[in-house]
Amino acid sequence: MTGAANELLLRRHFVFNRLQHYAIEYDTSKFAGSDAVQLKRALAAGKLDEVPPGRREMETSMEFQWLAALSLTQLSSNPELFVQKRFLDPSGALAPQKLDARKLVTVEYSGSQGNFAARLVLAVIPVEGLYAIGARSEPHQVFISRNVELVWAAAGITEIRNARPLSLAQAKADAEELHKRLPELANIAADAEHRHSRLLNSDNYSPSPVRQYTVDSPTLNGVTCPDTRRLSFCISAAESEVDPPHRIYQASFDFRVAKGVMILSPSLRTLYTFCRQKLGDDVPSKAREYDSDPEDDSDDEEASASGSQPGFKRRASAALGGSVRARKRARRTRVPLKYHVLLRYRETRAGVIHYHTEEGMLKFVDEEQLEFSARIDLSPYLGLKVELTGRKVCDVEEVPTDKWRDFTRARYDQENAARLRLL
């Protein structure tokens, strides 16, 4: 198995979660131990072969219903799904009734969508009897039709004479050439860049993690999703009596394929205590190693920085002692850059709540707290240590729409039972 799969098996809830999700009955006393042991016993008992057929059909049906409810505008960010819904029948062949042979479909897109045109053209190529080509000048457009002459004429190509037909091989070669010519544009939209720059140059900006961010992630951007919204992330202050630098923050995030909540704090111990006492929730007993950053808060590092060495007695010096106390005071008052994260989320495609608490680490680039990088777990759907980068784009605080209690085991059981009743 891959390293990511092996790491998932170290999470004791993974196998139980899968068995429960597919409504498989099992005796918990026979599945004790690590997830690796549980998986072996589940395989030996044939439990993983007992997935009810209706369960998979239900998930497929839910996905089709979700796609059917989306408009073509929403689907336009995903060329493959756009072609599937707009031109094809359920078998994947061209549906003539969806497109008249004398009609030309024009799809417009913004320059910030990068290689959209090439992806759309390449999605059309395998469809027999359907042709597409991108415009060679502004505005950004792709032309699609069952009539190849209409496509080439709309794109301003005049080489076709006497209604000469265009073969599939020629169309593919042209699309591949177009794909090579299209430049990769920046992921950050122009408006987000402008808003970030305005905050950066503002005279009255006060450093704080609170506010709205635009997020970029190679992993999340690579997941097929028809949603056109950008990845968003909003941090607000949580109701907590803890004083800085161990203040508690809450965040809501919408990564298109995953939507949920986070709890953040510079102190992992404070974070666990808050979740247990304020939220009445269990959290992992021990955080995994995400970052070995030397700025981690620990008295051992402070002692090391003071010049003490193992095997030698520390000299009793008033000046030295004062220096250590001054450094500790400075450390207590500085702006924290690193925040531990606990999160829960809903996988939006199937609508399934992931109620097990995941972990992560978020670190701001500097004390201005305008940009951050993060690594978070979004298992089992999206993987472990998913990398994110964020840039603050708005200095107005938003109230999170989702709450921690919306992602509990009780809510999962309630929704799961409702789905199973539909089988």
Looking at residue 339, what is its pLDDT? Answer: 92
The fraction of the chain above a pLDDT of 70, given in percent, is 47
Task: Tell whether the model's pLDDT for residue 309 goes beyond 70.
Answer: no
Mean residue pLDDT of the chain comes to 68
Task: Tell whether the model's pLDDT for residue 378 goes beyond 90.
Answer: no
Segment 195-201 long-range contacts (CB within 8 Å, at least 24 positions apart)? 195/393, 195/394, 196/370, 196/391, 196/392, 196/393, 199/370, 199/392, 199/393, 199/394, 199/395, 200/368, 200/370
Q: Which of 46-60, 219-233, 315-329, 366-380 has the lowest mean pLDDT?
A: 315-329
| Residue owning tokens 């039709």 | 145
Looking at residue 234, what is its pLDDT? Answer: 86
Domain edges within the chain? 3-51, 59-181, 190-304+326-417
Task: Tell whether the model's pLDDT for residue 50 goes beyond 70.
Answer: no
Contact yes or no for 148/83 (Cβ under 8 A) = no
Backbone phi and psi for residue 335, each to the nearest 5 degrees, phi listed first: -75, 125
**Among 208, 281, 298, 291, which Cα is nearest to 244's?**
208
Looking at residue 49, what is its pLDDT? Answer: 66
> Tens of pLDDT along 109-119?
665 555 667 77
Looking at residue 382, what is its pLDDT? Answer: 74
Contact yes or no for 263/275 (Cβ under 8 A) = yes
> Tens of pLDDT along 186-204?
343 444 454 545 555 555 5
Task: Tell whether the model's pLDDT for residue 20 goes beyond 60.
Answer: yes
Q: Is 199 exposed, middle or buried (0-12, 13-18, 19+ CB in 10 A)?
A: middle
d(CA 37, CA 49): 17
Write the DSSP symbol of residue 228: -
**Among 79, 390, 98, which Cα is nearest to 217's?**
390
Contacts of 71 (CB under 8 A, 6+ apart): none
Looking at residue 374, what is its pLDDT? Answer: 93
Task: Tell whether the model's pLDDT for residue 62 goes beyond 80.
Answer: no
CA 302 to chain CA centroid, Å, is 36
Task: Tell whether the model's pLDDT for residue 377 goes beyond 80.
Answer: yes
Q: Is the pTM of this model over 0.75?
A: no
Of the two residues 161 and 207, the one the predictor is more confident about is 207
The fraction of the chain above a pLDDT of 90, given in percent, is 5
Task: Please tell me which of 65-69, 333-337, 352-356 the model is most confident about, judged by mean pLDDT.
Answer: 352-356
